[in-house]
Amino acid sequence: MVSLGFVKDVSQCPAGTPRVVLGRAAQGGPALRAWREHRRQSVELRWNVAWGSDLGLWAGDMAQALADLRWPAWCIDAQAVADATDAPAGQRLTAWGLAFWAHYRSGADVYLAIGEDGRRAAMRSVDAWTRDFAHVTFAQRLDIDLQVRQKAEEYKDKPVRRTLNRLFPALFNRH
């Protein structure tokens, strides 16, 4: 089962969540990179898409590569996916998902980095994916973007709490 959620950017993902980066290149294919950053291990799968390559081919290969990695969670940038896809504007993320989820059958929590204002477009794509694939669902518990926005709204209405949070963040950030 694939559980989808939204993050504004990769920094909102749980610590250690691998990321998948799509990009355009003269030649397509994957590259796996790992490094240590701030005493944490970071991992990235970069998938280069060759100009003019068929989405159906590379999305299936990408799905197989990710399935082979067996990551329990990973993050992918929705805008980078759209930029790497040759589908018509407004349908790129949806088209990628329809090609990708048909081949990706591993269980994972997948975070879509939607940026500041990409929520509505990403939700339309997620709705299409969940309609077509029973193994793909949207999980409210993984919607970190919405959770952060709601918390910001709560603090906006409570100035004393907001001030205390700024002065003593450790009191409010316990897990």
Q: In the structure encoding, which two tokens stand for residue 49, read together?
A: 């898409």
More confident residue, 55 or 40: 55
Q: Which domain holds residue 152?
A: 144-175
pTM for the structure as a whole: 0.84
Examine the domain organization and report whether 149 and 121 are in the same domain.
Answer: no
pLDDT tens string 107-164: 999 999 999 888 999 999 999 999 999 999 999 999 999 998 888 877 666 666 666 6
- Count the domains in the chain: 2
Q: What angle in degrees, to the nearest 10, is found between the helix axes of 92-101 and 55-69?
A: 60
pLDDT of residue 174: 57
Burial track 101-118 (b if 16+ CB lie within 10 A, e otherwise): beebebebbbbbbbbeeb
The Cα–Cα gap between 21 and 83 comes to 11
b/e 20-29 (16+ beta carbons within 10 angstroms → b) = bbbeeeeebe
77 shares a domain with 151: no
Residues 133 and 155 in one domain: no
The answer to whether residues 71 and 152 belong to one domain is: no
With a cut of 70, say whether residue 173 has pLDDT above it: no
Q: What is the CATH number of the domain that holds 121?
A: 3.40.220.10
C-alpha–C-alpha distance, residues 143 and 149, integer Å: 10
